[in-house]
Amino acid sequence: MNTRKAKNGSVKNVPMHFKTMAQIDVPQGRHGKHKEVVTIILRDLDRLDEGAALKVPLSGLAEGKAKVRSALNRATRKNGHVVATASDAEFLYIWNTPKKKPAPRPDSQGANSE
């Protein structure tokens, strides 16, 4: 129970609307349902040979491929990985793709100006 001072100066016990806990026990950061599988995929992508793809069994993805793909997309954008995915009825395939080079900037004075 929490106490609150009334307008007349008396103290009342007022019940809390929500449960409380020690602040030290509050989880920090976003650790979603897919963190473990996405972390494993990213670790494997770091060690993957060029031209190879990871072959992740869909049966091992508890939440389904769409949700894992979405979580992987958020994680790769956050850490700068560039990956591609494909799937069939049994597997999710994931591979590294080369980072896109920035488009050349047009010459401010023109190529053939005189």
Please tell me the predicted confidence (pLDDT) of residue 101.
67
Q: What gap in Å lies between CA 71 and CA 15, rounded to an integer? A: 39
Please tell me the predicted confidence (pLDDT) of residue 25.
81
pLDDT in tens, 26-82: 777 666 778 889 999 999 999 999 999 999 999 988 878 999 999 999 999 998 989
pLDDT in tens, 7-23: 676 666 778 788 888 88
Please tell me the predicted confidence (pLDDT) of residue 98.
83
Please tell me the predicted confidence (pLDDT) of residue 9.
66
Q: What gap in Å lies between CA 40 and CA 45, rounded to an integer? A: 9
SS3 55: strand
Q: What gap in Å lies between CA 1 and CA 51, rounded to an integer? A: 62
Residues whose CB falls within 8 Å of the CB of residue 42, separated by 6 or more in sequence, listed in order = 72, 75, 76, 79, 81
